[in-house]
Structures are given as C-alpha cells and as structure tokens.
Amino acid sequence: MKKFLSLAAAVMTAASAIPYCPKAAEDMNVKNIPHLTDYYPLELEQETVNYISSRKLDIDFNSDGKFDHLDCYLLDRYDDYPGNNDSLPEDIREKIIANSDLDGDGETDAREKGCILCHFLLYCDIDTSFFDQSTYEAYDKELGIPYGPSYNSNRLSMNFVDSLNDRSIFLGVHYLFLEKMIEEGKVDPDINNDGKFDMSDVVDFTIASTNDPWIGEQDPDTGLWFYKCSPDKKIVLDDEIMERAKKITLEQSDYEFVQLYDPSALLDCLFLTEPVLPEYSDNTYYEKFYENAQYYLIGDMVKNYREYIVQDSAFQPIVDEMEKQNKEKEEVKNRFFDEVASGKAAAPDLNFDNIIDGRDLHISELYHGDLVFGRTAEESSLTKEEYDNISKNCDYDHNGISGDDGDFNLIFDYICNVVNERTIAMATDSTGEFYKLYADALFIKEMYPDEKPNSFNDQFHLYDDSGEKYEFPTLEEHYDSYLVRLAKKMTSRPDIDGNGTVDELDKKYAESYAAYIKTGEMGDTEIPEDVIERIKTDCDFTGDGKSGLLYDMQVAALYIDRVVLKNSWKNDISSKSEEKSSGDANCDYELSMADSVIIMQSLANPDSFGINGTNENHITEQGCENADIAGNNDGVTTADALAVQLILLGLDYTKYC
C-alpha cells in the first residue's frame, strides 16, 4: 500500500501536465487531504493522471480553453452504444472519442467517465451551480441540442447531476459543497432554530436522517459483536425540526432528484468552525440531548472523523504505523499458510473430520466466547478434546498463547481461503468458465453447512432432497445472457481487434482463437500478437470476470454471425414481430434503434413527440400502432422500446417484456 501523502504529492506533481486543468497542481481543492476517506480515490486519480499525461489526452472536450463541469457533462452525455443518439455536435463527439479512452482499449466505459469526473472534483472551484440542472439545460440550448430524454426517460441533465453527487460522496468531498451552500445561504444548518450552528444540530440531523438505530450486542456463545435494528430506540423529533432537517438534502422541485448530504458531511462543516472536544467521541455523551441518542452512534462517527482529520505534519507517522502493522499481519498469515502447506503446522481441522469448513470455524468461535466470558473447560459447550486442542495446539502466530485473538483471526483467514479455493474449482466448468453465483452459493453452503439461509432461492439445488444437480449453462444460454447484458449496456459488442468496428474479421479471429483453445492450434485466420493480448484481457463476453475463454469466443462469433452479418436474422422472433409491423415506430419500413428512440421520446416528451407533438419528427398514429408489440395490445409503453432493442439483438423479447 502506498504512503498516503507521498502518493498525494505524486498525484499533484503529475497533474500539472494535464491540458487545460483549471487549477495548478499545488491548489488541489481538498482542504485536508485526509478528508478523502480511503487511499483508493487518490490511487485512482494517480492512474487517471498517468493515462492522460502518457497518452497526451485533451479533455477540454468543448475546446473553450479550460476543463470544467461542462466538459464533464458532455462526456457523461456521450453514448457510444450502437444506434443510440446522444445528439452531441459532431466535433465535440469526435474529440470525446479521441480523448476519453483512458486505457486505450477502443471504447469509453463508465469507469473512465467516472475517473475523469473525479479528476474534475478534486481540482475544481467549489460552485453550487454544478448541482443545478438548469445549468446544463441552458448549455444544451446554447449548443442547440435537446435536453433529453436519455435512454431511461430522465433528462440528461438530471442524470449528470446525480452522477456528480455520487462521485463527490465517493471522494469524500461533498462536505465542501455543503459548506458552500451554507455560506451562500441556500442551506441553514441551524436545524433546531436556536440561533447557532453547533453539535445539537448534527444530532438532530443524524436522528432525522436515520430510519432506525442499530444496537451492538455480544453473542452469548461466541462473544462476537453483532448489530440489530432496534425500532424501540427510535427518537421521534418535532415536525418543525424534521422539516428543517429535510432541507439539508436539496430536493429539485421539478423532478425527484435529491442531492444527498449525510450526517458526516454536516459534521465536517461543524468542525471547520469549532474544535473537536474529547467528549464528542463518547456515544453516551449524546444522552444529554435525547434519551436513546447513544444508539445513533454519533460518537463513533466523531471517532472516525478524528482518525482521518489530522494535519499533514502528524498524519504521516500514523500512516507509517498502520502500514507497518498491516505488513506484519500479512507476514504472520503467509508464514502460517506456508507452515500448513509444508506440514510444519496442522491445518485447523478443529472437529477432527478431515474437512476444513465452517464447522471448524464455529468451534473456534465457541472457544473465543469461552475466553471472552471466562468459561472454563467444564463450562464450555465444546468437548474436552476440542477445547484442549485449541487451548494447547493452536498457537499459530507463535506468541506463546494458544487460541487467542491472533490465532482466531488466522483460523478464520485459513478456512475462508481453503473453502474459497475449493468452491471456485467446483464452480468452474471444463472449458474454464467460472460461475460466480454458483461459487458464492457453494461458499455459503460450506461455511454454514448446518444452516439453510432465510428466504433463499435454491436455484443450484444445494439444499433440496430431489437429487437434481446444477448443470452448467450451454452455449445458447450464454448467448442469451450476453444479449440481455448487452441490451442493458452491461457489456460491450465483440470488437475483437479493438478497431472500433465489429465485422467479419472479428468473427474470424474469435473462431480461430476458439480452435486454439480446443486443439492447441490456431484456426484458419492468423491473429496478430496485439489482438491476442486484447483477447486475453478485454474479451469477457460471458461476464465471469475471465477474458478469452472458449465460450467468450463462441459467443462473440455467434453474435457477429446472427446480428452483425445477419446470417440467422429471419428467425422465429423476427417473424413474431413482423406480424405486428416489426415495431416500425417511425414508419420508415425498417426496424432500427431509431424506432426505440422515438417510442421513448413520445413517452417522455409527448408535447413535442406525441401523436399531436410540435416536433416535425413526432410519432404518428400508424407509428403508435406499429410500436405496440410488447404486452397484450396495451398501448405504447417503455416495454415496446425495449422489445425493439431485443429484436435487433436477435433475442426473444417475449421472455423479457
């Protein structure tokens, strides 16, 4: 793990090379770097900076001489999904295509959009107009492009403001915008209306924004802590206080979007103006405000604040100590694993059944409870053999004490690792495809072998007595699943060579590599080395997290054959659609994404695109009749738009609409 401050310095140094960055590197806008709640955001920012610098990307997408919120909005609006129309001016669209593909894989995905948006938030001036939808609708008007709808019927400006809010929370910088809101008088933090902003307002806001408090208790058998929802401890505030608290989250009146500021953000704002008193870290301190206020764990929130709100000069030693402790723990764990593998230490088969699973973990938990509550061997629920084994033979961390917390943690790590490896192997088919949901179900079964999860859908037949066994999916099932994920924009089209076009050559590459997987020899088409590397890293079409396996290649070839080359286009599904005029909503005598778009436009903006709409491209009565393909003649709905997309993918829409 990289040192926090040295990493931040590296980020800030590299950032100075970014074209049109609105701030110099030394003006990074986070007032205290530890306000970032984790190392990950800065690591992600360093990766973004490196990509932009090394590939000389120009992220001033509107070419106005600066990188700002409008560039981020244009990027968020950009949609490279085939057939979708983001309505961006062509010069802006081309610049986005050329400069937003951070990793150079031939497409701009949601992660890359998010990285660029985070980069903006780390350096921008704090301006509350960023969260005003009218800012972006005015810009749409300036560019001469429509406000929306987007693919899910929301205005594109609302989608962007939502994304901006999510990313500011992810970075832990949303308190800066709340502070600005307070400064500008758009938000009043004096929730109890006593004339001042203090800790009592944070208490009220925390209570108002918490459904029910959670209370921690120790399990009487294992001594482990667990938390449960306790409606009986809920505090009911006055209506006036509740109404004032709601105004901290800014609801857009014309839409249903809520800009979220949580209690930690308000706490940050308070501690920008007053010192953190020691008593604030004690949950029971808050009983002075309300009975049962301790159960809202405000003291714990302050403790978390104190851990990361430390000035730079004092923060580095804390980071160094944390890294040292983590490194030592990892070394102890690796040494224990190696000792078990070499036979120097016995595996923690604590119930002596020659199987490492959750039953062994439960025995260690019961012994842990014995230690916590001071139970003797005679008072323990364990057998004498089990108790003596842990108390005498399980000093896995070599500290001279057998069965203590250090050993308990090592037992937990080892059992989880063994069970995880075993279930992964069980959930991998003969072609190498890995089925995560199956593996997760197997893991739960092995970690809790004597329990059946509540409300559990036993789709893998792990708990029933029918004798039926789970069968791995076939190629056709993988293909259907791929089409569904593609329709939902959860995966990409099979551009095997990454040249931006899905064509017959991609199919030949997929077939050739599939032959190599099956026989050890490439098929008829020679594959360039760079394409092979891409297949190994960027061609996961089954969604198992592994790229370039047999089914990935077969699904890719099948899609290109059926959808791109349309060799199997006239199938039963299209025949069903043709019986109802094929969804031809724009009456141009062919089925395309344009039909799905006009259906969505007519529903989201009927004044412009409905039957009597003012736009010259509005839907007609014949178009509505053609569009009504899903459902039982229930009129034009969003299901019809989805059905058109599924038909275009060669998928049976009747299964999903």
- The per-residue pLDDT for range 380-425, each reduced to its tens digit, is 999 999 999 999 999 999 999 999 999 999 999 999 999 999 999 9
pLDDT at 36: 45
3-state helix, strand, coil in the chain (%, to 5): 55, 0, 45
Looking at the fold, whether 115 and 240 belong to one and the same domain comes out as no
Residues of the domain holding 530: 475-564
Domain end, chosen from 120, 144, 172, is at 172
Token pair of 458 as six digits? 């036993």
Looking at the fold, whether 151 and 216 belong to one and the same domain comes out as no
Looking at the fold, whether 559 and 590 belong to one and the same domain comes out as no
Looking at the fold, whether 220 and 263 belong to one and the same domain comes out as yes
- Rounded distance between C-alpha atoms, residue 657 and residue 638, angstroms: 9
pLDDT at 11: 34
Q: Furthest-apart CA pair in the chain: how many Å?
A: 87
- Rounded distance between C-alpha atoms, residue 244 and residue 240, angstroms: 6
| 259: three-class secondary structure by DSSP | strand
Looking at the fold, whether 149 and 11 belong to one and the same domain comes out as yes
Number of C-beta neighbours around residue 591 at 10 A: 21
Which residues, other chains included, contact 476 with Cβ-Cβ below 8 Å and sequence gap of 6+?
Answer: none
Is residue 158 within 8 Å of residue 257, measured between CB atoms?
A: yes
Looking at the fold, whether 23 and 164 belong to one and the same domain comes out as yes
Instruction: State the CATH number of the domain containing residue 635.
Output: 1.10.1330
- Rounded distance between C-alpha atoms, residue 99 and residue 486, angstroms: 24
- Rounded distance between C-alpha atoms, residue 173 and residue 46, angstroms: 17
Residue with tokens 């949609």: 79
Q: What is the DSSP letter of 251?
A: E
Question: In terms of DSSP H, where are the helices of 186-297?
Answer: 199-208, 239-246, 263-271
- Rounded distance between C-alpha atoms, residue 572 and residue 578, angstroms: 10
Looking at the fold, whether 198 and 294 belong to one and the same domain comes out as yes
Looking at the fold, whether 128 and 209 belong to one and the same domain comes out as no
Q: Does a structural domain hold residue 453?
A: no
Q: Does a structural domain hold residue 101?
A: yes
Residue 217: phi, psi to the nearest 5? -140, 155
From residue 302, give the alpha-carbon distance in Å to each of 126, 263, 264, 420.
25, 11, 8, 36
Residue 422: phi, psi to the nearest 5? -65, -45
| 633: three-class secondary structure by DSSP | coil
Q: What is the DSSP letter of 232?
A: G
Residue 428: phi, psi to the nearest 5? -115, 125
Side-chain half-sphere exposure of 562, counting CA atoms within 13 A: 21
Q: Does a structural domain hold residue 131?
A: yes
Helix-then-strand count for the chain, H and E:
26, 4
**Beta bridge pairs of residue 529:** none
Is residue 361 within 8 Å of residue 367, measured between CB atoms?
A: no
Looking at the fold, whether 193 and 151 belong to one and the same domain comes out as no
Looking at the fold, whether 136 and 195 belong to one and the same domain comes out as no
Tell the burial category of 101 from Cβ atoms under 10 Å away from its Cβ (0-12, 13-18, 19+): buried
Q: What is the DSSP track for 301-315?
A: HHHHHHHH---HHHH
Q: What is the DSSP track for 551-615?
A: HHHHHHHHHIIIIIS-TT-SSHHHHHHHTTGGG-TT-SSS--HHHHHHHHHHHH-HHHHSTT-SS
Looking at the fold, whether 587 and 560 belong to one and the same domain comes out as no
From residue 255, give the alpha-carbon distance in Å to each of 138, 161, 169, 445.
17, 12, 21, 45
- Rounded distance between C-alpha atoms, residue 90 and residue 108, angstroms: 17
Q: How far is CA 55 from the centre of its chain?
A: 27
Domain end, chosen from 538, 564, 590, is at 564
Q: Does a structural domain hold residue 609?
A: yes
pLDDT at 337: 97
- Rounded distance between C-alpha atoms, residue 481 and residue 487, angstroms: 10
Is residue 297 within 8 Å of residue 285, measured between CB atoms?
A: no
From residue 615, give the alpha-carbon distance in Å to each of 11, 79, 134, 627.
49, 23, 22, 18
Q: Does a structural domain hold residue 178?
A: no
The rounded average pLDDT for each run of 10 residues, N- to C-terminus, in the chain (657 residues) is 31 36 38 45 74 89 94 91 73 94 84 90 85 88 76 66 86 84 90 96 94 88 90 94 84 48 86 88 95 93 69 48 83 97 96 96 97 96 97 96 96 97 94 89 93 71 80 90 78 91 94 93 94 94 91 94 67 41 72 81 84 87 86 81 77 67
Q: Does a structural domain hold residue 442?
A: no
Tell the burial category of 12 from Cβ atoms under 10 Å away from its Cβ (0-12, 13-18, 19+): buried
Q: Does a structural domain hold residue 448?
A: no
pLDDT at 656: 63
Rounded to 5°, the CA angle 538-424-519 comes to 55
Looking at the fold, whether 160 and 213 belong to one and the same domain comes out as no
Domain end, chosen from 564, 582, 608, is at 564
Q: Does a structural domain hold residue 364?
A: yes
Number of C-beta neighbours around residue 656 at 10 A: 15
Domains of the chain: total = 5
Q: What is the DSSP track for 322-363?
A: HHHHHHHHHHHHHHHHHHHHHTSS----TTSSS--SHHHHHH
